[in-house]
Structure 1
Amino acid sequence: MQPAAFHPSRHYIGSVLIDRGHRKSPKTSDKQIQPSIPSGPPTRFLQAKTAKTMQPITLYSHPIGPNPWKVAIILSALHIPYEMIMIDFTEVKKEPYVSLCPNGRLPTIVDPNKNITLWESGAIVNYLIETYDQSHQLSYDTFPERHQLQQWLHFQVSGQGPYYGQLGWFRRQPEQVPQAIERYTAEIRRVMSVLDQVLTDREWLVGDKCTYADLSFVPWQDLVPLVVGDQRVVQELTEQFPHVEAWMQRMRARPEVQKVLKEKSEAMASN
């Protein structure tokens, strides 16, 4: 299926093509615009040069959903051109989106360079690393590091994301369920305690550099204040897990993270 079926209107945030779905914008047009290639330091020249020969990958996303932005961070870090198409949560279980993702969840990518469509953020991250990180900028090809990277990605996908998401869901309900809020707040503490313990004597989860394993945690961890919804608890978490806070600050200082979080903030503001 051609991605074009999803964008009756388009606009850009930063260097990324954004689709507002059914919302029309008087400043947009249907004219095809090539997404720009993210800039980066000289050490990434070869990957940036390769990106110029690529067609952009289409990333189906939502302004607030953290998992698509996880994929966007990896794409940006690898200097892979991409266009982002916003899908409203009310549309993800309907055609035409379910023909791309039968599970009706975000994200999904369509990579015209390899003629592949993928959903599930962990699978997408694995694909991007295996296919486009040949220089191991965000990964390792050594034992045991390559397996440890998978360990942390699985922990993020099965631990951090679901528990943080459940707390956010229960917090938004008009009828509060204290037992559920207490349970999932405790799970957030548990996840953060695991991370904090490992980061006590190291800067990164695996090896001596920031990898896709670290970056995969950014979008959900960045949403902790919104998910928790209680400033007192947020402050307690910050003080209780200082190594997690320092780790997040190191990642927020990275250009690709700053770029994507800025785009996410702008997308949320205009949603």
Structure 2
Amino acid sequence: MIDAYSTATPNGHKIHIMLEECGLPYRLHHINISAGDQFKPEFLKISPNNKIPAIVDSDGPDGKPMSLFESGAILIYLASKVNKFLGETDREKFTTLQWLMFQMGGVGPMLGQAHHFRLYAPEQIDYAVNRYTNEAKRLYGVIDRRLAESAYLAGDTYTIADIATFPWLRSWEKQGVTLSDYPHLERWFHEIAERPAVKKGTSMLVSERQPIADAKSKEILFGATQYARR
């Protein structure tokens, strides 16, 4: 049994989708990041970086429980556990990991900054808004060019690279992007959105999500609470 600790964010949705795609038995536990659940000692034991998602697999590689944090690491772990969505040959696996790292190192952080400065920053900073909006468009362009030559990010097969990237692109309007400007990406986007596991995974915990509107939740997520040494 896999216990998944998460919430309805792009990184959380990655793991929801993957668990559904894998068909593994799991329990989902909501971590209310607006209320500070991510800083509780019991959560920090499995996610020392106080970020969702995290999992605990009661049947780890050696038969003993194993916990993991970082969504990319969790995707690789689950793909290895079911021997799917990672590629079969070494070439396929490294190509998949290359595009997974592109999401982890570029798409997630940069689109996250676009969200922050366009939606949540206490003051409008034109330089930051323009910088991260332009970077979002550049990244969409990279993906579009890749998908002009292959059905999926890692090639002809749906992999964890697609699972990792798709949730971050669902908020394209909030990132200042027009999806139709990237026709190959748009084709891929709508195809993946129709997968049953994706539909279910992206709906999970949405009803539990709280808007980041009040001063307390903003302080927890972006203020001194976030940066306190633990």
Normalised by the shorter chain, which TM-score bucket? Answer: 0.7 to 0.9
Residue aligning to 1:183:
131
Q: Which amino acid aligns with 1:128?
A: L
Quote the Cα distance in structure 1 between the aligned partners of 2:38 and 2:136: 27
Residue matched to 2:72: 122
% same residue: 34
Aligned to 1:106: 52
More helix by share: 2
Deviation at 1:264, TM superposition (A): 4.6
- Please state how far the C-alpha of 1:223 moved relative to its aligned partner: 2.1
Q: TM-score, normalised by structure 1?
A: 0.71
Alignment partners' CA distance in 1, 2:180 and 2:136: 14
Instruction: Please give the alpha-carbon distance, in whole angstroms, between the structure 2 residues aligned to 1:238 and 1:113.
Output: 41
Give yes or no for the alignment of 1:192 onto 2:192: no
2:56–2:67 CA contact under 8 A, matched in 1: yes
2:66 matches 1:66:
no
- Please say if 1:95 is aligned against 2:41: yes
The answer on whether the counterparts of 2:80 and 2:86 sit within 8 Å (CA) in structure 1 is no
The one of the two structures with greater contact order (alpha-carbon pairs below 8 A, sep at least 6) is 2
The AA in structure 2 aligned to 1:132 is: V
CA distance 1:208–1:144, shift in 2 (3 Å): same
TM-score with structure 2 setting the length: 0.83
Structure 1 unmatched runs, 5+: 1-54
- The answer as to whether partners of 1:58 and 1:83 remain within 8 angstroms in 2 is yes
Partner SS, residue 117 of structure 1:
strand
For 1:1-60, what per-residue CA distance to the aligned partner results, in whole angstroms no more than 9, with x for missing partners? xxxxxxxxxxxxxxxxxxxxxxxxxxxxxxxxxxxxxxxxxxxxxxxxxxxxxx2x1111
Quick check: which has more Rg, 1 or 2?
A: 1
Q: How many angstroms does 1:208 deviate by?
A: 1.7
CA separation in 1, counterparts of 2:193 and 2:37? 31
Alignment of 1:9-24 (within 5 A): none
CA-based RMSD: 1.9
Structure 2 unmatched runs, 5+: 213-230
Separation of aligned partners in 2, 1:112 and 1:253: 31
Within the candidate set 99, 102, 105, 1:158 is matched to 105
Please tell me whether the aligned partners of residues 69 and 264 of structure 1 are also in contact (alpha carbons under 8 angstroms). no
Q: Which amino acid aligns with 1:169?
A: H
What is the number of equivalent residue pairs in this alignment? 205
Equivalent-residue separation in structure 2 for 1:160 and 1:122 (angstroms): 12
Deviations 1:184-212 (A, max 9, x none): 11111111111000111322122322111
The one-letter code matched in structure 1 to 2:41 is: E
Q: For residue 190 of structure 2, what is the aligned residue in structure 1?
A: 249
Instruction: Determine the structure 1 residue equivalent to 2:87.
Output: 140
Letter in 1 for 2:188: W
Aligned partner of 1:167 in structure 2 is 114
Q: Displaced runs of 4+ in structure 1, greater than 6 A?
A: none
* 2:216 corresponds to: none
